[in-house]
Structure 1
């Protein structure tokens, strides 16, 4: 299941009111977008068919490594800048290489076209100097923002720094000098009927294309003080949609829960994978246990998303 929003389709507004901290963050980052644009109108974004250099966050993550592989395979001249936390460039390069090798998707031809950017998405300008950030603004044509804190036990207050406030740096990059296309990985988990599909309460509720979640149902199902992840994604979406109205090309991919690749590779720390592995090892299942996962393999979804992103 993939729920995508792009610039050619009008996104319906949310119905209801976001929780106070979410509203505050939306307004704060809207003001930031205005302040960046008040400094001068950016040049027009290049067409996707003319992409030559792009920035990817989350390159060492479960999904990000497959995006990196697909982007590099689509064009032998494609250069991907990857923001990585590391001690030095070689350490960062090793982290990326190890992530792809672990999934058995590494190719030696990738090495020369991966540009390691030592940084942190949560730090101002990703932790780069003014000169380094300015150069990045001039180099890249698009941003694939996949990095996120996916901790399902964090409140919104605890997770907002990584998932919401980091949007400030992404937006500054996309709005400076010229517009960049932004491709953002959100989640189907903003919908209670998806996140809690195991509950009979939601068995008759569908999720339609371009649909927005019911905020009152979210508040009931996802207490903002206990489960902040879906709120951080929904809040980020609202900020990005505001920037889109100002002219920034945008696509939002609401991805499902993904637990495996077509080769059988799984994220080692995924709770559902570990639960299933424990059940197999013990040859017993907990009472009423069902293993629910997306039918789509991560590499299939990655190919779909990257193909959409490069379609003018």
Structure 2
């Protein structure tokens, strides 16, 4: 008997709804993704057949449209087999289903404690004491990513350090090219000759010992003086168990490196999303911005802070929503006018090569959906909007303070956050056909729009746009006592009405 015949026998035995869901998904796998049904095995994961997370988004959206109902994201990711996934989907849409879709299956405190037990184990070969100053070398993760490239720039310009960049690549040349490509894409303006001070380390932070041989790992552990951990998967759609490997396991492995050989100062980039978990139940209720990404950042920040409480020179830095100005430091001075700033930014973006088109991110995609839907939510909320240039400058300069002056936790947001009412005013002034509606009405209209769009970037936000959006934004950004690096604050334009209108106009039209 062929696998497909066995499969139909097993699915049919599970019930008519299971067979219906199975048939719909198999049609999509066959017609859109060229998955052969002949040897299909439901005891294997759907990922075994080349279906990645973006394709899951497409399947998720198409299945919701076909069934005319909402299906929780976790139903597609919890099970280890295709058969289990079908069962989870059926449970999630049945009236008497018992799939735990509202509450995470992970106790965050348990995750934190397990990581701490691992990191604080006895290390008989470790040197006594810890590095007291940044002297010669540092390890940087995420250098080939959006945020990490700007950290690399600041380290190159503000220190004399030899910088070891952990990169996933075939070889050192490919690793350098990944950084160059990101630099060009975001106009990062790395200093000339930067390659002379950068050593590519081919590895993977989600693997034991960063994927390095024992000999290489121990050599780096003894010679590298500090660690800047920037790398993370920034995805609001995927559940905790999917991005845990990179965001949590990866952070634990990088932290383990910081404790090996000699204790190294550890500078960890956290997220505004952490504040949403501070007052949540454990396990937390999953809704809106309380998602898998937020859980991973909460867990990792707690790991860093609890180790810092033991007297180690470790700090965590919360950042809000980041965008790039794309301008170099020689073009900007503290007294530049807002109009001049806009001209400089426009000029910088004109120089971006077509091959390196900058994709819109979550907030920009949300803004671009509003004209398509025909309405804008009426929110009483604030939103942080800060240049990555300022975030990188603030963290690097703070990390260079004497260790006796460093705190264990910092928050760097825009001191003047965006007021959502300015967004509403922009749309009302620029397009009279766009209606201002209550948040719940917008959520329903957005869900309907997502079901019929082919834009995956819009689909990625489907779980973020919830009835608690205004409350969650204000928990993160309203009346927050932000830290500040005053000598660089001119890199952070205040989100006043003029700025907000210019920003939205740029997003929608350029």
TM-score, normalising length: structure 2: 0.48
Determine the C-alpha separation between the residues in 1 that align with 2:210 and 2:199. 15
Counterpart pick for 1:294 among 380, 384, 396? 384
Say whether the 8 Å CA contact 2:321–2:386 is kept in structure 1. no
Q: Does 1:89 align with 2:180?
A: no
| Correspondence for 1:236 | 300
1:303 aligns with 2:393: yes
SS in 2 for 1:288: strand
Partner residue in 1 for 2:110: 24
SS of residue matched to 2:317: strand
Instruction: Confirm whether residue 169 of structure 1 aligns to residue 253 of structure 2.
Output: yes
Alpha-carbon separation, structure 2, partners of 1:234 and 1:311: 25
The reply on whether 1:143 has 2:207 as its aligned counterpart is no
Deviation digits for residues 220-251 of structure 1 (CA, Å, limit 9, x no counterpart)? 46489x82111111111222223223442111
CA shift for structure 1 position 285: 7.5
TM-superposed deviation, 1:41: 5.4
SS in 1 for 2:267: strand
Q: Would the alpha carbon gap of residues 246 and 127 (structure 1) be closer, same or farther in structure 2, given more than 3 Å must change?
A: same
Written as runs of structure 1 = structure 2, the 5 A alignment for 1:9-20 is: 20=106
Q: Does structure 1 conserve the Cα–Cα contact (< 8 Å) formed by 2:321 and 2:385?
A: no
Shift of 1:216: 3.6
Supply the distance in 2 between the matched residues of 1:182 and 1:80 (Cα, whole angstroms).
Answer: 14
Higher helix share: 2
Alpha carbons of structure 1 residues 292 and 60: separation in structure 2 relative to 1, 3 Å: farther
Aligned residues of 1:191 and 1:218 also touching (Cα < 8 A): no
- Residues 286 and 86 of structure 1, relative CA distance in 2, 3 Å threshold: farther
Separation of aligned partners in 1, 2:140 and 2:401: 18
2:120 alignment counterpart? 34
In the alignment, is residue 133 of structure 1 matched against residue 217 of structure 2? yes
Give the aligned partner of residue 121 of structure 1. 205
Say which SS state the counterpart of residue 194 (structure 2) adopts: helix
Contact 1:190 1:218 in 2 (8 A): no
What's the CA shift string for 1:70-114, capped at 9, x where partnerless? 000113x32111111111110101111221122221333211001
Structure whose CA Rg is larger: 2
User: How far off its partner does 1:39 sit?
Assistant: 2.5
* 1:208 aligned residue: none
What are the equivalent positions in structure 2 for 1:1-312 lying under 5 Å apart?
20-35=106-121, 37-39=122-124, 42-48=127-133, 50-75=134-159, 77-104=160-187, 105-192=189-276, 213-216=278-281, 219-220=284-285, 222=287, 227-261=291-325, 263=327, 264=345, 268-276=359-367, 286-288=374-376, 294-312=384-402
- Whole-Å Cα distance in 1 between the matches of residues 124 and 374 of structure 2? 59
Whole-angstrom CA distance in 2 between matches of 1:254 and 1:111: 29
Could you say which residue in structure 2 is the equivalent of 1:203?
A: none
| 3-state SS, counterpart of residue 315 of structure 2 | strand
Gaps of 5+ in 2: 1-103, 328-344, 350-356, 403-510
- Structure 2 CA distance for aligned equivalents of residues 218 and 287 of structure 1: 35
Task: Give 1:218 shift.
Answer: 9.2
Separation in 2 of the partners of 1:60 and 1:41? 30
> 1:231 is paired with a residue of what secondary structure?
helix
1:10-69, Cα deviation, whole Å (9 max, x unpaired): xxxxxxxx974322221211111222x342554322233x43211111111111110000
Cα distance in 1 between the residues matched to 2:363 and 2:153 = 25
Q: Could you tell me the TM-score, scaled by structure 1's length? A: 0.77
The alignment yields a C-alpha RMSD, in angstroms, of 2.9
For residues 38 and 136 of structure 1, do their structure 2 counterparts lie closer, same or farther at Cα, with a shift above 3 Å needed? Answer: closer
Query: C-alpha separation between the residues in 2 aligned to 1:292 and 1:53?
Result: 40
SS of the aligned residue for 1:183 comes to strand
In structure 1, runs of 5+ residues without a counterpart are 1-17, 193-211
Pick closer, same or farther for the CA change 1:151–1:178 going to 2, 3 Å: same
Deviates most, 157-166 or 109-118: 157-166
- How has the CA–CA distance of structure 1 residues 253 and 177 changed in structure 2, closer, same or farther, with 3 Å as cutoff? same
Please give the alpha-carbon distance, in whole angstroms, between the structure 2 residues aligned to 1:74 and 1:286: 47
Conservation of the 8 A alpha-carbon contact between 1:184 and 1:253: yes
- Which structure is richer in relative contact order (CA contacts within 8 A, separation 6 or more)? 1
